[in-house]
């Protein structure tokens, strides 16, 4: 079944392979290497490309090319080594889907066997080569083939058994050449490491499953033991209870069980509601704080507008209306002539007016500072209250959290210290001194002792004397 949304590059290569002659197929298949290399490793795009390559039988074409005679392939060992890389990368991380049985039982073992056969052919060519350059080139191709085989075994560890039982691999191990032998031994070491890691994972998985089974068995035994004890207890109770009171006993047990279930359920529900309400309360306080700040800002803006409103010019006043008003003012001044005033009296009146204005503005500044001080105190009180509500209890406090309970106000700190000393004195007093006292009575502490204690009192924001 062909997948939907196939990559157009894969479709182009598949069509070109189908139309081209047999000798050109290996070169066309090399285009897959460029597509695989430019795709990010481990991405979903690469996974989809591998599925498209498998669905259009391009992996099978690579396997068929590798099974042919090397001398007939265009490009020789260079093309073959690159095809082994393409085949190993396409087979690792591929999900064959419906053809999983054919892929795991036929295609993968055949690919591993072909890699070993190619390695054996390279070994023979390396031994028969006369020139050093040719030997180096063949050794490089042999290394590429072994790396491709190792990559394939790393993705499909079930092929290790097939490789170790292969006659081609045994022939590679019996090589007399040092370079080929060292490369084969390195590959064998890597294969054994993969097999060892696989066995370790299997052992860990077996141990984990065994622990889970043991845990299930222990839990089952505990449940059975608890049920057995419960039944024995019920039977012992039934032996004690009178036959006529059995139904009443059952009814009482059911009521107790229902009460226990209801108690736990209500506790859970209340705790859940408390956490939800706590979040809502925090959001409500935040909204109130924001609204208070916004209202104060708007009130200040409105107050400033009122101060400057009297200095605005009259709106919608025409020239004719201005002439009429000026005529009325002149007529009023002519009818109500004031008494003549000397320069000395005029200066005295001016000085008095300036003094009153200065007194007014100074009093206004003092009042504004007092108002700002009151607002700052109210804000500090609100902040302290909010911190105390969010602060943990003294039993759970750690680190610098107890500093949240300190106050910057000396009267508040002194009153707190006095209450603390009163409580301590009452606790440490002998029992015979507490006779006749009631819970609401207050105990006086001498002022001398209080002043001595307050000399070492630490108040937040100050230094001890």
CA distance 223 to 212: 16
Q: How far apart are CA 217 and CA 224, in angstroms?
A: 10
What Rg do the C-alpha atoms of the chain give, in angstroms? 48
pLDDT lower than 70: segments of the chain: 1-4, 241, 308-316, 338-339, 391-395, 397, 399-410, 412, 435-465
pLDDT score for 71: 78
Whether the CB-CB separation of 335 and 327 falls below 8 Å is answered with no
Q: Which of 76, 55, 54, 56 is CA-nearest to residue 65?
A: 76
Q: What is the pLDDT of residue 457?
A: 40
Q: Which token pair is 416?
A: 């707190």
Cα 160 to Cα 192: distance, rounded to the nearest angstrom: 9
Residue carrying structure tokens 């109210």: 378
Q: What pLDDT shows up at residue 408?
A: 63
Close Cβ partners of 10 (under 8 Å, ≥ 6 residues apart): 35, 49, 52, 53, 56, 58
Number of Cβ within 10 Å of residue 453's Cβ equals: 16
Query: Is the backbone of residue 9 left (phi > 0), alpha (psi -120 to 50) or beta?
Result: alpha
CA–CA distance, 72 with 186 (Å, rounded to integer): 31
Residue 311 has which token pair?
A: 């200095």
Q: How far apart are the first and last CA of the chain?
A: 89
DSSP 441: -
Q: Let me know how long the chain is.
A: 465
* Phi-psi region at 312: left, alpha or beta (left = phi > 0; alpha = psi -120 to 50): beta
Rounded to 5 degrees, what angle do the CA atoms 460, 463, 464 make?
Answer: 105
Sign (positive or negative) of CA dihedral 380, 382, 384, 387: negative
Query: Of 71, 70, 58, 67, which Cα lies nearest the Cα of 25?
Result: 58
Locate 214 and state its tokens. Answer: 């043991």
* Residue 294 pLDDT: 92
Helix axes of 178-240 and 246-309: crossing angle, nearest 10 degrees? 120
Predicted local distance difference test score (pLDDT) of residue 407: 62
Tell me how far apart the alpha carbons of residues 329 and 327 are, in angstroms, rounded to a whole number: 5
Burial level of 149, CB count in 10 A (0-12/13-18/19+)?
buried
CB distance 77 to 122 below 8 Å:
yes
Give the C-alpha separation, 39 to 187, whole Å: 28
Q: Buried b / exposed e across 231-252, counting CB within 10 Å, b at 16+?
A: eeeeeeeeeeeeeeeeeeeeee
Token code pair at residue 260: 């226990």
Is residue 358 packed enough to be buried (19+ CB in 10 Å), middle (13-18) or exposed (0-12)? exposed
3-state SS, residue 6: coil
What pLDDT is recorded for position 463?
40
Is residue 164 within 8 A of residue 191, CB to CB? The reply is yes
């Amino acid at each position: 079944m062909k997948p939907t949304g196939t990559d157009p590059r894969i479709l182009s290569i598949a069509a070109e392979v189908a139309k081209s002659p047999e000798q050109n197929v290996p070169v066309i298949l090399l285009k897959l290497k460029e597509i695989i290399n430019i795709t990010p490793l481990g991405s979903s795009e690469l996974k989809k490309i591998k599925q498209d390559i498998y669905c259009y039988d391009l992996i099978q074409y690579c396997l068929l090319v590798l099974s042919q005679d090397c001398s007939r392939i265009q490009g020789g060992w260079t093309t073959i080594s690159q095809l082994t890389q393409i085949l190993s990368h396409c087979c690792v991380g591929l999900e064959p889907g419906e053809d999983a049985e054919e892929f795991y039982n036929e295609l993968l073992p055949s690919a591993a066997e072909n890699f070993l056969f190619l390695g054996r052919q390279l070994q023979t060519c390396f031994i028969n080569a006369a020139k050093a350059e040719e030997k180096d080139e063949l050794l490089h191709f042999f290394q590429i083939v072994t790396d491709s085989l190792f990559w394939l075994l790393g993705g499909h560890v079930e092929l290790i058994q097939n490789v170790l039982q292969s006659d081609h691999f045994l022939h590679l191990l019996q090589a007399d050449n040092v370079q080929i032998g060292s490369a084969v031994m390195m590959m064998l070491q890597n294969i054994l490491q993969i097999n060892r890691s696989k066995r370790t994972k299997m052992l860990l998985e077996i141990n984990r499953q065994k622990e889970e089974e043991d845990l299930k068995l222990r839990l089952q035994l505990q449940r059975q033991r608890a049920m057995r004890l419960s039944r024995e207890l019920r039977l012992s109770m039934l032996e004690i209870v009178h036959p006529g009171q059995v139904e009443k006993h059952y009814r009482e047990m059911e009521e107790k069980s229902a009460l226990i279930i209801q108690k736990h359920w209500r506790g859970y529900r209340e705790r859940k509601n408390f956490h939800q309400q706590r979040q809502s309360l925090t959001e409500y306080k935040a909204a109130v704080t924001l609204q208070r700040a916004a209202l104060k800002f708007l009130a200040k803006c409105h107050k400033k507008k009122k101060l400057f409103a009297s200095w605005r010019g009259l709106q919608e006043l025409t020239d004719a209306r201005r002439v009429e008003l000026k005529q009325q003012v002149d007529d009023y001044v002519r009818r109500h002539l004031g008494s003549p005033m000397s320069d000395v009296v005029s200066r005295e009146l001016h000085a008095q007016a300036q003094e009153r204005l200065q007194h007014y503005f100074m009093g206004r500044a003092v009042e504004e500072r007092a108002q700002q001080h009151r607002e700052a105190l109210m804000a500090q009180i609100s902040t302290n209250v909010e911190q105390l509500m969010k602060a943990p209890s003294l039993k759970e406090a750690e680190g610098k959290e107890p500093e949240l309970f300190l106050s910057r106000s000396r009267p508040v700190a002194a009153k707190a210290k006095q209450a603390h000393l009163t409580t301590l004195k009452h606790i440490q007093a002998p029992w015979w001194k507490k006779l006749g006292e009631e819970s609401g009575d207050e105990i006086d502490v001498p002022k001398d002792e209080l002043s001595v204690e307050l000399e070492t009192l630490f108040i937040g924001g100050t230094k001890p004397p």
